[in-house]
Structure 1
Amino acid sequence: MDVAGKLIPETDMLDDHTRKRIRAIWEMGRLHTHEAWLSVFPAVWGASIGAKSDRTDVWSFALVLFGIWASATVSHTAFCTWNDICDVEYDRQVERCKSRPLPSGLISVKEATFVFLCWILLTLGTTWYTLGPQATLCTTPAWLLSLVYPFMKRIMPFPQLVVGLSVASGVMPGYVTVRGDIEFNGSVLALFGATVCWIIFLDTAYAVQDMVDDVKCGVQSLAVFLGQRVRVFLALAAVVTITFFVEAVFMSRLSLFYWTFGIGVWVAGMIRSVSLLDLSDCASGGRVFRFNIKAGFYLTVVTFVEGYLQAWFY
């Protein structure tokens, strides 16, 4: 009885320990949120432009989309884990981040580092297998930027630029995988510029949530640097983003449907985003961020519909 009585609690403790580690891995990778889609959207947009400029059958395009989703999701998971490892001491000082797995003690830095290395190997393997060597080569700059990003918050007041360049680089592998060669036209470069500005826009809004705590612990961001001028900056970033998107759509010769339900609704969404930000309520930055993830979903759906219309009627 005594032996059995001891075994049951030990088994329960082991199961609880395992559950905590799984939860920690899941949350460090932001798999409990929709953030990973921000890495998927640009690649899908790039692939769609590639499909527009080249003949691509439906099945092949579906496989590319699956590869984009798998590669972007795993790589985002890996580098969010890396970001938490690098920022653990800062996160302990930021109210919103104290409950994350590392600062809360749910997992150790040593364990998290091992998990990160596993994610990196899975990222390389997934990208190579599903998208091919050329796409892997095109994605490498984004990975390198993601590696250095956590340190940029310590040395520069605009680390959002690094995030923007990293996420927007996803436009290239999607386009290259569909086309089969590393050659970029003007519409892809315009789309890249639009995505950079959009990510800077929403990540600056996201940083508003932590402005007060970031100042205390010495973390730099555009939100901290700009202070009360954040809304003006976001308005300017929105204008530049829209300008690049308009150029990309014009050069891709998309239909009236896309101009109306794509660009038209996107412009309204950007105006709505700026209006949502309230500097007296730092939590509004999170609402702007989440709103833009939904906007990214919407634009991706419209892009799919546009591709169908192009294939069917033109």
Structure 2
Amino acid sequence: MTRPAGQSKAADAGGVADAPQGNWADRYAPAFLLPYLRLARADRPIGFWLLAMPCLWSVSLAERSRDATFPDLWLLLLFAIGAFAMRGAGCTYNDIVDREIDAQVARTRSRPIPSGQVSLKGAVAFLVLLCLIGLAVLLSFNPFAIVTGLLALPIVALYPFVKRFSYWPQAVLGMAFGWGALMGFAAVTGGLSLSAFLLYAGAICWIIGFDTIYGHQDREDDALIGLKSTSLKFGRNTRTWLVGFYTAAWTLILLAGLAAGGEIIFLLGMIAAGAHLFWQVATLDIDDGDNCLTRFRSNRDFGFVVFAAIVLDMYLAAVF
């Protein structure tokens, strides 16, 4: 398998192998803070967007179900802050748990803990700080949303260990990463509707799909050290499995939108989003690291298309 061309250069320069060259953190962050930003994956913001998208969809669909003109901007901001903090916390927790494994994998051995940029004690302290920020955001919501948010913690805690015994860590990641699909409804309405559960199921399928693509970058190293993933399980049949998961994701998200009151603009936006998923599957080359990484990152665009479809649909429905 070929590696993305910029990865080895980034590692040689003291950065992290799978971070984009010339990213904002490497260019502008003060030296004392840079290792911690790398630990939180702030040098690779794609994970923030992928975590935030189900939250933004959920807030918007919850508002759509109440015939609002536009999503609550304050809630969107709170979820963005929460997604940034909890994505960083999740990455830090994963790196603490996986520090010995990461040292054995080409793509991850340059991460801050295995490379010695951040000590274990420093990583734990940073994890606590990020969790406190996330908790502050959570406590600003209503009691039902607070309880709903806390229920995700066991899933988050389990995730780093699943690849040691199951080929389905991506499913657990989907349950954890997609939890925002429930949180937006909980924060807006103080409850969960059919639309919320459909959206959550769709988010899980979407996340399994894109993380399977991502995992193909590591499948050779994973196989050598005995780790499991859907990338290894699906192997040469990955495209067929992706068709199934992406079709399920698209259908469930569409049904969630329709259940929340979505109309023609939402439907047209979902057709565009579906075309993007089709492009990913049709052009995927699991033996090319550059190809896998590009298609993985492109899921941010899918998320934006769905979000724009929801918001534009609710705005036009309210105005006309």
Paired with 1:166 and 1:50, the residues of 2 have a C-alpha distance of 20
The two structures have a TM-score, normalised by structure 1, of 0.87
- For residues 247-295 of structure 1, give each alpha carbon's deviation from its aligned partner in whole angstroms, at most 9, with x where no partner exists: 22332331211111x2111111111111232122244221221011221
Paired with 1:87 and 1:22, the residues of 2 have a C-alpha distance of 22
Query: Of the two, which has the highest radius of gyration?
Result: 1
Paired with 2:161 and 2:216, the residues of 1 have a C-alpha distance of 19
1:62 maps onto 2:102 in alignment: no
- For residues 198-228 of structure 1, give each alpha carbon's deviation from its aligned partner in whole angstroms, at most 9, with x where no partner exists: 0110011110110111111222111012221
Counterpart for residue 269 of structure 1:
276
1:202 maps onto 2:210 in alignment: yes
**Given the alignment, which residue of 180, 194, 200 partners 1:170?**
180
- The number of residue pairs the alignment matches comes to 291
**Do the aligned partners of 2:181 and 2:200 also contact (CA within 8 Å) in 1?**
yes
How far has the Cα of 1:57 moved from its partner?
7.3
Helix, strand or coil at the partner of 2:227: coil
Helix, strand or coil at the partner of 2:139: helix
**Do the aligned partners of 2:50 and 2:300 also contact (CA within 8 Å) in 1?**
yes
Counterpart for residue 20 of structure 2:
none
Counterpart for residue 7 of structure 2:
none
| Structure 1 segments unaligned to the other structure (5+ residues) | 1-17
1:228 maps onto 2:236 in alignment: yes
**Given the alignment, which residue of 60, 66, 90 partners 1:48?**
60
Paired with 1:173 and 1:96, the residues of 2 have a C-alpha distance of 33
Counterpart for residue 7 of structure 1:
none
How far has the Cα of 1:190 moved from its partner?
1.3
Helix, strand or coil at the partner of 1:220: coil
Larger RCO (CA within 8 A; separation ≥ 6): 2
Structure 2 counterparts to residues 1-314 of structure 1, below 5 A: 19-33=30-44, 34-54=46-66, 56=68, 61-129=72-140, 131-179=141-189, 181-182=190-191, 184-260=192-268, 262-313=269-320
Farther off after superposition, 82-91 or 280-289? 280-289
The two structures have a TM-score, normalised by structure 2, of 0.86
Q: In proportion to residue count, which structure has more helix?
A: 1
Question: Share of identical aligned residues, percent?
Answer: 28
**Do the aligned partners of 2:64 and 2:262 also contact (CA within 8 Å) in 1?**
no
Helix, strand or coil at the partner of 1:96: coil
Letter in 2 for 1:92: A
Paired with 2:35 and 2:305, the residues of 1 have a C-alpha distance of 30
Paired with 2:82 and 2:275, the residues of 1 have a C-alpha distance of 31
**Do the aligned partners of 1:21 and 1:106 also contact (CA within 8 Å) in 2?**
no
